[in-house]
Amino acid sequence: MAFLLILGGASAAQGQTAAEPPNPLTQIKALKCSFPAATSAVWKEGAPQPQTKTQDMRFEITSIDVGDATAEFTGTAGRAYVTAVLSGWSLYFVESAVGQLNVTTVFSQEASPKKLKAVHSRHGYLQMQVGRFIAEPSVSQNYGECEVVQ
């Protein structure tokens, strides 16, 4: 009988897990993002050719509401309403338009104080041909950080 009590106590102790820390992404309402590095690709003779460059891409994401899955994205092309998705320790912002899908991912890991690591991906293609010009898919991935705005 004592043997069963010892085993029962060990099982209860093993079943206890430390509480996870609160996810800071749930409280974010606005971000200022910058992406100084990017990789894009063009296809030549059917093979993708990656090209890496430095840049000054900046935009803001405001009115973030993970409960309603909504946010506003403001960049050089103006303002767009995007879908906000919190999954684990990442916050995704998804924008789709005709022939275009943009996804910004903000990770719950600091790149520098008060700035979170982030990636912005663009995927687009509109099939068209004008004379000898034939449109190609447009793809890029941009690397940087987003500052949490209070």
Q: Which pLDDT tens digit goes with each residue over 53-107?
A: 999 999 999 999 999 999 999 998 889 999 999 999 999 999 998 889 999 999 9
* Structural domain boundaries enclosing 38: 21-148
Distance CA 122, CA 93 (A): 12
Does the pLDDT value for residue 128 go beyond 90? no
Cα(38)–Cα(55) distance, rounded to whole angstroms? Answer: 7
Which of 135, 69, 74, 64 has its CA nearest to residue 99? 135
Above pLDDT 70, what percent of the chain?
A: 89
Residue 15 domain-assigned? Answer: no
Number of domains in the chain: 1
* Banded pLDDT at 5 (limits 50, 70, 90): very low
Instruction: With respect to residue 3, please indicate whether it lies within any of the assigned structural domains.
Output: no
User: What pTM, to 2 d.p., does this model score?
Assistant: 0.82
Determine, yes or no, domain membership for 81. Answer: yes
Q: Between residues 14 and 72, which one has the greater pLDDT?
A: 72
Report pLDDT for 117.
Answer: 98
Q: What is the total residue count of the chain?
A: 150
Is residue 32 one of the residues assigned to a domain?
yes
Q: Is residue 7 situated within a structural domain?
A: no
Q: Is residue 104 part of a domain?
A: yes
Domain-embedded: residue 14: no
Domain-embedded: residue 13? no
Model confidence band, residue 14 (pLDDT cutoffs 50, 70, 90): low
> Residue 43: what pLDDT?
86
Whole-number average pLDDT of the chain: 88
Task: Categorize the per-residue pLDDT at 17 as very low, low, confident or very high, splitting at 50, 70 and 90.
Answer: low
Sign of CA dihedral 112, 114, 119, 124: negative
> Positive or negative CA dihedral for 15, 16, 19, 20?
negative
